[in-house]
């Protein structure tokens, strides 16, 4: 990210604190802490700084998005189930004005019908579905390349 401090905020939504306890065939057998360690390594290899945020409270997620432009140059968002219905998160994400990649550990396009909808898809610069933790590496690569 030329001319910036290369700050990427990684936001995880509802139930991400339960990684490792959720369906391992869908979400993997790692904890949120283990996922964040991997993401931090991916980012370091690309010369990017990462910060992490996770909450199970939709209002807190929205408030964090409101502050995002002062804290980060780009973002990766996995809003969990909020992806499928939270217009409040969609609108707050749209207000950030920073490059954002939507990431999902599982391929939501091949899951239950209700999971196939993303209300944030039209306000992100890129989407990565179903690549597990490697999706975050791909998202960081996209952000680094897109802003050079």
Rounded CA separation 17/62 (Å): 18
Catalytic residue (one of 12, 64, 104, 142):
104
| CA 126 vs CA 3, 29, 94, 104: distances in Å | 21, 26, 14, 12
What is the phi-psi region of residue 130: left when phi exceeds 0, alpha when psi lies from -120 to 50, beta otherwise?
Answer: left
Rg of the chain on CA atoms, in Å: 14
Say whether 136 is catalytic.
Answer: no
Q: In the chain, at which residue ranges do the beta strands (DSSP E only) sit?
A: 7-12, 49-54, 74-78, 100-104, 126-129
Catalytic residue (one of 12, 27, 64, 136):
27
Which are the catalytic amino acids?
27, 104
């Amino acid at each position: 990210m030329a001319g910036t401090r290369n700050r990427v905020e990684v936001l995880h939504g509802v139930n991400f604190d339960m990684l490792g306890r959720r369906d391992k065939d869908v979400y993997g057998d790692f904890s949120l802490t283990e996922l964040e360690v991997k993401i931090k390594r991916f980012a370091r290899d690309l010369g990017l700084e990462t910060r992490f945020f996770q909450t199970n409270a939709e209002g807190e997620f929205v408030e964090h998005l409101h502050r995002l432009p002062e804290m980060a140059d780009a973002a990766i968002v996995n809003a969990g189930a909020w992806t499928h219905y939270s217009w409040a998160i969609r609108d707050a994400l749209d207000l950030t004005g920073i490059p954002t990649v939507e990431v999902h550990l599982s391929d939501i396009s091949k899951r239950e019908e209700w999971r196939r909808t993303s209300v944030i898809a039209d306000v992100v610069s890129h989407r990565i579905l179903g690549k597990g933790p490697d999706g975050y590496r791909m998202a960081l690569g996209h952000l680094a390349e897109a802003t050079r």
